[in-house]
Amino acid sequence: MDGSIPEPDLAAIFLDEGEAFQVGERLVQEELALSLSAIARSGASVFYQGRIAHAIVQVET
């Protein structure tokens, strides 16, 4: 595997400076952690109608 991911947004998350993570390396997803914290704090509405929903729409359009 050469570590290539054709989608730049996915590559930014799942590659480490363009290379696949090695066994034992840590993948930290700060934006995911922030999203999950917001859902825990504010409930599902933040996902379906709040800033997370708006961010999803922005990425998809």
Q: How many residues does the chain have?
A: 61
Phi first, then psi: give them for residue 30, nearest 5 degrees: -65, -40
Tens digit of each residue's pLDDT (9 = 90 or more) over 15-53: 988 899 999 999 999 999 999 999 999 999 999 998 898
Q: Between the CA of residue 10 and those of 15, 32, 48, what are the distances in Å? A: 8, 13, 22
Percent of the chain with pLDDT over 90: 46
Q: What is the chain's alpha carbon radius of gyration, rounded to the nearest angstrom?
A: 15
pLDDT grade, residue 60 (50/70/90)? Answer: low
Residue 2: name the closest of 19, 24, 23, 26 by CA: 19
pLDDT grade, residue 1 (50/70/90)? Answer: very low
